[in-house]
Amino acid sequence: MSQPISSAIPFKFQNNYIKFEPPGLFDFLKWRWNALVDGHPKSAQSPTPKVDTDLVFIHDNGKASDKMQPAITWIGHATALVQFSGLNMLTDPIFSERASPISSIGPKRAQPPAIALKDLPHIDLVLISHNHYDHLDESSVRSLASQPGGSPLFLVPAGVKSWFISLGISNVVELMWWQSHRAQSPKGSVEIVFTPVQHWSGRTLTDRMDTLWGGFAVFADDFHFFHVGDTSYSPDFQDIAKRFADRQPDHGFDLVLIPIGAYAPRWFMKDQHVDPAESVQIHKDLRARKSVAYHWGTFSLSDEALDDPPVALAAARQEHDISESAFVAISIGQTLKLPVRTAH
């Protein structure tokens, strides 16, 4: 994929396996009308599970650069703190009350973020999968950029850097699919590769597909991690596994964060978001040692109830004979400590 020489035709990014047209006004209104008539989304039977965060562990682990234990803490939605190789990394940080361009309207969070911005350890790296409001939040990005000790490095899809520059934030690297960036860690260097997934981008009605979207594969000596972001199901995941097979002869990623929410109704969502059965297929395609579910239970973005996704995930796991511990829906605030990667 390359930029056209002439700017007469505006450049738009596109998926590898389907030509995605962002939903038009007619389909959007049909979805909203049907949801209104059918009473979707139904209220959740129970609130999204939330536990007190172990801030002592997180901060101690964050300081122990030479013996940091790989760990993931779910903060809510697609936001997670991932600790490995002496680095503190955030995925798609949103700490705001709403996922919206306007602070008084739009999807409101059902649970507060598990960790307040001020209680985070010093963040070294931030991965932004795409520019939808529930993944790229201006107020959270501004706060992180002004954290004590200096801005983290933001890794973003091609075309998104100019948005950061417009906020006065310059510690940003933008990547095309399969481009990589090497970041220094206290334990050496970490390679981060931006990969295709099947989704779309846009923050207004006029900038759709202007910037790229994707997943991030992160390779450290002691930890291989994948942040899927938003995706529908496509052969891209088999391509990713094939691409990295040489460096993962024994098993695939040690940890994969996979979205399981915002999938109903399928006629409207299937080219944008996976359902939990497809999430399990991604887990298998990437040969994940452990997958953790995210992108559910925080913002109501679709027709399923907020607490439906883990129930559908459990059914899909059973069908594929996958254990709960291999693909787990953890509580907001929960920390999972993971083994150091030994096989290469």
Q: By the criterion CB under 5 A, which residues form the site for Zn ion?
A: 132, 134, 230
CB of 130 to Zn ion, least distance (A): 6
CB of 260 to Zn ion, least distance (A): 12
CB of 91 to Zn ion, least distance (A): 12
CB of 54 to Zn ion, least distance (A): 27
CB of 190 to Zn ion, least distance (A): 25
CB of 294 to Zn ion, least distance (A): 10
If the CB atoms of residues 183 and 312 are measured against Zn ion, the closer one turns out to be 312
Q: Which residue has the tokens 């080219």?
A: 271
Residue 29: exposed, middle, or buried by beta-carbon count in 10 A (0-12, 13-18, 19+)?
Answer: exposed
* CA distances from residue 23 to 14, 118, 172, 272 in whole angstroms, order as listed: 14, 38, 30, 10
CB of 300 to Zn ion, least distance (A): 12
If the CB atoms of residues 132 and 317 are measured against Zn ion, the closer one turns out to be 132
Pairing of strands 223-227, 215-220: antiparallel
If the CB atoms of residues 208 and 287 are measured against Zn ion, the closer one turns out to be 208
If the CB atoms of residues 222 and 304 are measured against Zn ion, the closer one turns out to be 304
Residue 156, both tokens: 């973003």
If the CB atoms of residues 59 and 208 are measured against Zn ion, the closer one turns out to be 208
If the CB atoms of residues 16 and 45 are measured against Zn ion, the closer one turns out to be 16
If the CB atoms of residues 134 and 275 are measured against Zn ion, the closer one turns out to be 134
If the CB atoms of residues 74 and 223 are measured against Zn ion, the closer one turns out to be 74
CB of 186 to Zn ion, least distance (A): 32
CB of 299 to Zn ion, least distance (A): 8
3-state secondary structure labels for all residues of the chain: CCCCCCCCCCCCCCCCCCCCCCCCHHHHHHHHHHHHHHCCCCCCCCCCCECCCCHHHHHHHHHCCCCCCCEEEEEECCEEEEEECCEEEEECCCCCCECCCCCCCCCEECCCCCCCHHHCCCCCEEECCCCCCCCCCHHHHHHHHCCCCCCCEEEEECCCHHHHHHCCCCCEEEECCCCEEEEEECCEEEEEEEECCECCCCCCCCCCCCCCCCEEEEEECCEEEEECCCCECCCHHHHHHHHCHHHCCCCCCCEEEEECCCCCCHHHHCCCCCCHHHHHHHHHHCCCCCEEEECCCCECCCCCCCCHHHHHHHHHHHHHCCCCCCEECCCECCEEECCCCCCC
If the CB atoms of residues 134 and 304 are measured against Zn ion, the closer one turns out to be 134
Contact yes or no for 229/92 (Cβ under 8 A): yes
